[in-house]
Amino acid sequence: MKIGFAGLGVMGGPMARHLVQAGHEVAGFNRTSDKARAWAQASGGRFAATVAEAAAGADLLILCVGNDDDVRQVVTEALPHLKAGAIIVDHTTTSARAAREMSALAAVQGCDFIDAPVSGGQAGAENGQLSVMVGGEAAALDKAEPVLMAYSKAVKHMGASGTGQLTKMVNQIAIAGVVQGLAEAVHFAQVAGLDTDAVYDAISKGAAQSWQMDNRWKTMAEGRFDFGFAVDWMRKDLGLVLDEARSNGAHLELTALVDRFYAEVQAMGGSRWDTSSLAARLQARNGRA
Ligand code: NAP
């Protein structure tokens, strides 16, 4: 397949590399073009200096940029250069509204747009083990799915345009509450003077077990917060979630509270710390950090 790829950052860079390795002809574009040049050199893909260059003649245009406005910009610039029948796959985490807007815009040009946010983080992108949740036309996904499998372990069609993004919001709601609960558990164990390793051994095989507990308990206790998904990104995602909840009427009391806690972590200088740094906020309150 001839593929244009826009957004060669932490996630997009390795995803586009997997596509080259799978034998596709990939043209990589990035806002900061040095990054695209470095990606092309390392991966064997083709450097594209503009969106138009990446989109021209492509069967598939894949995006993994930052936010709603980035997606609007890339899609608007790309559409006049895409051939009719091309498919746009957006891996950016955005609002569901932006996904529906882009889908309508693409349809005018005879193209499909599918919203396809991912979970699995940087490690998932590097190892080709992402989970993709997709909204949009099933027929378009059927064509794109074999390509997406170059960097995915699971691709799930959720329904109409926007439902991929809504599913990613559910993922972030579930994570926010669990991480705060875990941070409080570690904090309480420390304040109570318990051996945190022994506590983990005692409780991690029972009902308290979670991915976050298995992967972040020890690092939270040690005050290490450099494991990927940054607080700034989580605040962007929780902002999308809370906006959506304001319009659909869902009650997200805990999510709103955890979003405020992340704002405090940002104020502590933790914008680039990973999401488990909710523990740092609690440690700072007790003068431990
Ligand atoms: P990132 O490292 O900042 O990468 C984003 C890339 O997109 C950057 O290289 C940026 O270019 C480029 N970009 C932004 N706007 C652009 C535009 N208008 N045209 C062309 N390129 C543009 O971020 P990331 O961690 O890869 O995350 C990307 C998306 O995936 C976000 O929506 C994020 O929420 C989501 N996500 C991330 C993770 C994770 O663990 N990191 C996990 C799941 C989902 P510059 O070099 O100019 O900044």
Domain boundary among 159, 185, 204: 159
The DSSP secondary structure of the chain, one letter per residue, reads -EEEEE--STTHHHHHHHHHHTT-EEEEE-SSHHHHHHHHHHHS-EE-SSHHHHHTT-SEEEE--SSHHHHHHHHHHHGGGSPTT-EEEE-S---HHHHHHHHHHHHHTT-EEEE--EESHHHHHHHT-EEEEEES-HHHHHHHHHHHTTSEEEEEEEESTTHHHHHHHHHHHHHHHHHHHHHHHHHHHHHTT--HHHHHHHHTTTTT--HHHHHHHHHHHHT---SSSBHHHHHHHHHHHHHHHHHH----HHHHHHHHHHHHHHHTT-TTSBGGGHHHHHHHHTT--
Does one domain contain both 144 and 198?
Answer: no
CATH number of the domain encompassing residue 8: 3.40.50.720
Give the pLDDT of residue 288.
53
- Full pLDDT tens readout for the chain, 289 residues: 999 999 999 999 999 999 999 999 999 999 999 999 999 999 999 999 999 999 999 999 999 999 999 999 999 999 999 999 999 999 999 999 999 999 999 999 999 999 999 999 889 999 999 999 999 999 999 999 999 999 999 999 999 999 999 999 999 999 999 999 999 999 999 999 999 999 999 999 999 999 999 999 999 999 999 987 899 999 999 999 999 999 999 999 999 999 999 999 999 999 999 999 999 999 998 765 4
Cβ of 93 closer than 6 Å to ligand 1, yes or no, is yes
Cβ of 38 closer than 6 Å to ligand 1, yes or no, is no
Domain boundary among 100, 127, 159: 159
**Boundaries of domain holding 244:** 166-285
Q: What CA–CA distance (Å, rounded) separates 53 from 50? A: 5
**Ligand 1 centre distance from Cα of residue 233 (Å):** 10
**Ligand 1 centre distance from Cα of residue 65 (Å):** 4
Does one domain contain both 153 and 171?
Answer: no
Does one domain contain both 10 and 123?
Answer: yes
Does one domain contain both 151 and 210?
Answer: no
Domain boundary among 159, 174, 202: 159
Does one domain contain both 170 and 154?
Answer: no
Cβ of 74 closer than 6 Å to ligand 1, yes or no, is yes
The pTM is what? 0.96
Cβ of 73 closer than 6 Å to ligand 1, yes or no, is yes
Does one domain contain both 132 and 207?
Answer: no
Catalytically annotated residue among 35, 83, 156, 168 = 168
From 11, 169, 172, the mutation candidate for ligand 1 (largest count of ligand atoms within 8 A of CB) is 11
Domain total in the chain: 2
Does one domain contain both 123 and 219?
Answer: no
156 is catalytic: no
Does one domain contain both 150 and 22?
Answer: yes
Does one domain contain both 211 and 272?
Answer: yes
CATH number of the domain encompassing residue 180: 1.10.1040.10
Give the pLDDT of residue 229.
87
From 5, 29, 30, 35, the mutation candidate for ligand 1 (largest count of ligand atoms within 8 A of CB) is 30
From 53, 61, 65, the mutation candidate for ligand 1 (largest count of ligand atoms within 8 A of CB) is 65
**Ligand 1 centre distance from Cα of residue 221 (Å):** 30
Does one domain contain both 210 and 110?
Answer: no
Does one domain contain both 151 and 9?
Answer: yes
Does one domain contain both 152 and 178?
Answer: no
